[in-house]
C-alpha cells in the first residue's frame, strides 16, 4: 500500500509503503448512480446535507464556489440516472448504505444517535470501503501508478476537466478485476478517518476511531493526472460536498 519514492507525482502522505492484510469483501462494480440515489430519496424522503444546509461547491470554469441550491439533483452540469451521484456528504453516503442494507434484509453497518454515528465492522450490511480495501480494489494486483500501467489517458478515464462534469458509469474499460471508474470521474468517500502511514505490516486495519477528515480516493473529473493515481490520498470534512465527490459501497465477507 502506498507509493514508492520514485513514483512521479508522489505526495509524502502516500508513504512509507507498507504491507497490509486484506480480509475478503465484496465491492460494487460502479459508483452509486443518480438513479440509485434517487430510489433511496423517493423511498425515504431523505434530504441531503446540501439540501438542508447551504448547498455545495461547484466548478464555474475558473474557480470553486459554493452555490446554496447545488445538490445531488442539481450539480450544475447535465446528468442522467446513469451518471455517478455527486454533492453527497460522507453522512449522506452512510445513510444510503443503511437503507440499501435494509432493502436486502441485512444488518446495517451504521447506527445514529444525534450527530454521533457508530460503526459495526461485523455487520452483514453495506458500508463504505476502508482506504485499504479501496486501494486494493483499484490496483487489482498492479504495483504501477495506475491500474493501466505507469500512464493513463483521457481514453481510459475522465479527469483533468476533459468534460465539465461526470460521464455515465462504464464509459471506460474496467480494471482487470472488472471494476469501473476507479480512476477519475468521481472522488470516492472511504470509511476511514485520515491518518499517517507507518512502515509496519498491518492486519486489516479499519483506520483510527476519530479524526479531522474522512479519506477520499480515486480523483474526479476535475483532478489532474497526478491526483488520480492508485496511491493518491485526499481528505474532506465529513459533512463536505462538491460536484466531483461521490461513493461506492462494499460488504464484508465472513
* Predicted local confidence at residue 201, as pLDDT: 74
110 vs 127: CA distance, rounded Å: 8
Map residue 35 onto helix, strand or coil: helix
**What average pLDDT does the chain have?**
95
Average pLDDT over residues 88-94: 98
Q: Is 61 left (phi over 0), alpha (psi -120 to 50) or beta?
A: left
253 vs 240: CA distance, rounded Å: 30
More confident residue, 178 or 114: 178
Assess if residue 111 is contained within a domain.
yes
More confident residue, 45 or 205: 45
Assess if residue 2 is contained within a domain.
no
pTM for this entry:
0.96
Assess if residue 4 is contained within a domain.
no
* Predicted local confidence at residue 237, as pLDDT: 96
* Predicted local confidence at residue 206, as pLDDT: 77
* Predicted local confidence at residue 135, as pLDDT: 97
* Predicted local confidence at residue 230, as pLDDT: 98
* Predicted local confidence at residue 198, as pLDDT: 84
| E-only strand ranges, the chain | 20-21, 25-27, 56-59, 64-67, 110-113, 116-119, 126-127, 187-193, 202-203, 214-217, 233-236, 245-246, 250-252
For residue 239, give its domain range.
12-252
Instruction: Encode pLDDT of 206-248 as tens digits.
Output: 778 888 999 999 999 999 999 999 999 999 999 999 999 999 9
119 vs 158: CA distance, rounded Å: 32
Query: Would you say residue 41 has pLDDT above 90?
Result: yes
Assess if residue 6 is contained within a domain.
no
Assess if residue 170 is contained within a domain.
yes
Residues forming beta bridges with residue 188, ordered by sequence position: 217, 246
Over pLDDT 90: what percentage of the chain? 87
CATH code: domain of residue 118 = 3.90.1580.10
Torsion 14-19-21-25 (CA) sign: positive
Assess if residue 199 is contained within a domain.
yes
Candidate from 14-18, 158-162, 173-177, 190-194 with smallest mean pLDDT:
158-162
Average pLDDT over residues 191-202: 87
Query: Would you say residue 28 has pLDDT above 80?
Result: yes
Average pLDDT over residues 105-118: 92
Assess if residue 27 is contained within a domain.
yes
Assess if residue 242 is contained within a domain.
yes
Number of domains, the chain: 1
Amino acid at each position: 500500500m502506498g507509493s514508492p519514492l520514485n513514483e512521479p507525482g508522489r505526495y509524502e502522505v502516500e508513504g512509507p509503503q507498507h504491507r497490509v492484510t486484506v480480509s475478503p469483501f465484496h465491492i460494487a462494480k460502479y459508483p452509486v448512480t443518480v438513479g440509485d440515489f434517487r430510489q433511496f430519496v423517493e423511498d425515504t424522503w431523505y434530504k441531503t446535507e446540501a439540501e438542508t444546509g447551504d448547498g455545495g461547491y461547484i466548478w464555474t470554469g475558473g474557480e470553486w464556489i459554493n452555490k446554496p441550491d447545488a445538490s445531488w439533483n442539481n450539480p450544475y452540469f447535465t446528468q442522467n440516472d446513469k451518471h455517478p451521484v455527486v454533492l453527497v456528504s460522507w453522512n449522506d453516503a452512510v445513510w444510503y448504505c443503511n437503507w440499501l442494507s435494509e432493502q436486502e434484509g441485512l444488518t446495517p453497518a451504521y447506527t445514529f444517535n444525534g450527530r454521533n454515528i457508530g460503526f459495526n465492522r461485523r455487520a452483514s450490511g453495506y458500508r463504505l470501503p476502508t482506504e485499504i480495501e479501496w486501494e486494493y480494489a483499484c490496483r487489482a494486483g498492479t504495483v504501477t501508478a495506475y491500474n493501466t500501467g505507469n500512464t493513463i489517458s483521457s481514453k481510459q478515464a475522465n479527469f483533468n476537466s476533459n468534460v465539465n462534469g461526470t460521464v455515465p458509469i462504464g464509459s471506460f474499460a474496467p480494471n482487470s478485476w472488472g471494476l469501473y471508474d476507479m480512476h477519475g470521474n468521481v472522488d470516492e468517500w472511504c470509511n476511514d478517518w485520515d491518518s499517517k502511514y507507518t512502515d509496519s505490516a498491518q492486519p486489516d486495519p479499519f483506520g483510527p476511531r476519530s479524526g479531522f477528515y474522512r479519506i477520499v480516493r480515486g480523483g474526479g473529473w476535475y483532478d489532474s493526472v497526478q491526483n488520480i493515481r492508485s496511491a493518491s490520498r485526499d481528505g474532506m470534512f465529513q459533512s463536505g460536498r462538491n460536484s466531483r465527490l461521490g461513493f461506492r459501497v462494499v460488504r464484508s465477507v465472513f
